[in-house]
Structure 1
Amino acid sequence: MDNIIILLSGGMDSATLLWLAKKEFKKIYTISFDYGQKHNIELKFAKELSELAKVEKHFIVEIPHLKNLEGNALTDKNLEIPSENYPDDPPITTVPMRNLTFLSIAAAFADTYEIENIGIGIHSVDSPYPDCRAEFASAVEAAINASSIMVAKKKNRIRVYTPFLGKTKTDILKLGLELGVPYEKTYSCYKGTIPPCGECATCLQRKEAFESVGLKDYIEVNDE
């Protein structure tokens, strides 16, 4: 496979996806988004990871309209980030159409740079989010191909690359450890604190994954 653009948040999953892409693709681009998230410190980590991975180019895109959405705890200043694991239903941290927006923008860059793969690190533990499910990935891939200038001209196909679908956080961590992912350079907290809060769903997932393989989180080690 030739080239790919990775949606890079700076967290564990997207960092593992980036290191997997280093093994499987020749040219790698990364794209991150500033959408008014309370944890926008993640952008600093995404930038550093991109530099460490020596990608072709790292794009940071502002998405102003997502900053104005009320009713979700990631962008609404009047709502607190819950200190609990994800419920079965879409959690209050669901930003409406976030991944659809991200992938649409990434597809525009794919068209411009003639990139035939778009990588996103969605996985089974994220399934309470509607836009982290297999049916979403297949539907958005179809829409991207139907609207792509490059596909119309070259008669090729753009693939939404989702190697972690069906995998757990522990599965992803084990793969990342094999690939040498610098997890000390990743950030997973939705509250955006330094050190991470250790209580939000993303912090709890991360802690459980490290404990499941008998390791202490690198961030916890560095904070001691």
Structure 2
Amino acid sequence: MIKEKNIIVLLSGGMDSATLLWLAKQNFEEVYAISFIYGQKHSIEIEYAKELAKIADVKQHFIVELPHLKQLGKSALTDPSLEVPSQDYTDQPPITTVPMRNLTFLSIAAAFADVYEIENIGIGIHSLDSPYPDCRAEFASAAEAAINASSVMVANKKNRIKIYTPFLGMSKVDIAKLGYKLGVPFEKTYSCYKGTNPPCGECATCRQREEALKSIKED
């Protein structure tokens, strides 16, 4: 298999981004990772992201602080006055939505891509994330267009930066099974929105993770 040149992967420390990182290692010659401290109520996931990047032996792992997202409030992930709910996602954007988070993440990753001449940006959005506006295919396409329109590298080299979204249309179970095949160390990942140690087991992300990992054991 001929590998593509390079990619920078958005790495949160969860099982989706970890699987994306391992898939990138299989499909790209050079793999970078980028993680964000954006005012989330806990930083446990960042420690997991650091460990995953180390295990995957990425070329470089960037960690960026974005305090302004916490100032916005109105998200259960950043606002101390709001509780993370235990119920499943609804069809509407849930209270755990952080306004413009993925757009901010992608634009900053694109700046690193510009400087380091990285031609792909990986983000692990999937079908179960669809209640979030910035986890949909139309968002990824629009973000890619904006990034290419503003990229110095693209203007100079006449190429394109691609938003790599291999999990669109896939379920959490599909991702877990792929990760298992790729040898992802799921025990080194963390997905709890409440930030407890051990994970709460009650929030939607914990329960989705449990269901996905259970599917591996049943196969």
TM-score by length of 1: 0.95
Q: Does 1:72 align with 2:100?
A: no
Structure 1 partner of 2:56 = 53
Residue 155 of structure 2, aligned match among 141, 149, 152: 152
C-alpha distance in structure 2 between counterparts of 1:135 and 1:181, whole Å: 29
Could you list the runs of 5+ residues in structure 1 that have no partner in the other structure? 216-224
After TM superposition, the structure 1 = structure 2 runs for residues 1-224 of structure 1, keeping only pairs within 5 Å, are 1-214=4-217
C-alpha distance in structure 2 between counterparts of 1:158 and 1:144, whole Å: 7
C-alpha distance in structure 2 between counterparts of 1:87 and 1:195, whole Å: 26
Instruction: Describe the SS at the equivalent of 1:58.
Output: strand
Q: How many residues align?
A: 215
8 Å Cα contact 2:130/2:136 also seen in 1? yes
Cα root mean square deviation, aligned: 0.8
C-alpha distance in structure 2 between counterparts of 1:149 and 1:40, whole Å: 33
- Flag as ranges the 4+ runs of structure 1 deviating above 3 A: none
- The structural deviation recorded for 1:214 is 3.1
8 Å Cα contact 1:39/1:189 also seen in 2? no
C-alpha distance in structure 1 between counterparts of 2:160 and 2:152, whole Å: 11
- The structural deviation recorded for 1:39 is 3.2
C-alpha distance in structure 2 between counterparts of 1:57 and 1:12, whole Å: 20
- Structure 1 vs Structure 2: percent identity of aligned residues? 75
TM-score by length of 2: 0.97
